[in-house]
Chain A
Amino acid sequence: MSIIVNLDVMMARRKMSLNELSEQVGVSVVNLSILKQSKGKAIRFSTLGAVCKALNCQPGDILEYKDDGVVSDESVS
């Protein structure tokens, strides 16, 4: 199983660039790029909340579960 981060989709819908989102959320562009590519280990609730506030969306709009048959022990924290 894996968690897909659809941050780029929401950013495109809200017409927001990575730099703008970075300024609003208070997370570096590098970290947001890593998050966008679903390469992060975990995401803090505070970060998730800030992203949802900036993009005016729900966590479910950004996070998607996809069963790819691989068991992973990474989790959202």
Chain B
Amino acid sequence: MKKSASTSVIIFAIYMVLMLTILKKAPELFIGFAVISAALFLFSMIVRNSIYFKPYFTSKYNVLTSKILHQMQFDLPKDILFEKMKEVLTEAGFKVRHADKAAGILFATSSISFCSWGENIYVDITENNGTSKVDFCSACFFGIVSWGRNEKNYERMMETFENSLII
């Protein structure tokens, strides 16, 4: 958490320096840039942390956000796997925003970094005869190219899950 906070501070500092430079050299450009940046931040605050926009982020017709989908099978009952996944997402460094045990839905977000505005992680768990199917989706908040962040999120989650099975 401390690492993500310091990264956010650095990003914000760089952003402010950039804005001040633009303001000094091209005030008209600054206004346009400021409006776009404000709109993106506002969009991020409203949309990113809400489960209700899941259809937008996970839709295959949405070409504005890069996403990956993985399906896995586990030999565990749904209720145990749900709690385990919730634990794993937190240990892997994601922030769990929404957890619905009855529906088997988990929603988490990753922090902003130099490479991305952050990703939304959606985990759906369904049970079938004592085994569970997990649908994992990592979608960029904003960006056609994820620069490998979605894949890294998946790998990080799976690695944390595997390690967590050593009790």
Contacts and interface: CB of A to CB of B under 8 A. Distances in A.
Contacts of B75: 39
A77 to B, nearest CB: 7
A30 B81 CA distance: 8
B126 to A, nearest CB: 18
B100 interface: no
Contacts of B76: 34, 37, 39
Contacts of A19: none
A45 to B, nearest CB: 11
Nearest to A29: B83
Interface residues of B, number: 11
Chain B facing A: main interface SS: helix
Interface string A32-52: 111101011111100100000
Task: Using C-beta atoms within 8 Å of the partner chain, give the interface range for chain A.
Answer: 10 to 19
B80 A44 contact: no
A24 interface: no
B87 A34 contact: no
Contacts of A39: 75-76, 165
B101 interface: no
Given A33-B80, A34-B76, A37-B76, A42 B166 contact: yes
B87 to A, nearest CB: 6
Nearest to B161: A41
A15 to B, nearest CB: 23
- Those 8 A-B pairs whose CB atoms lie nearest each other, nearest first: A41-B165, A30-B83, A42-B166, A40-B167, A31-B167, A33-B80, A35-B167, A40-B165
Interface of A: 27-35, 37, 39-44, 47, 77
Interface of B: 75-76, 80, 83-84, 87, 162, 164-167
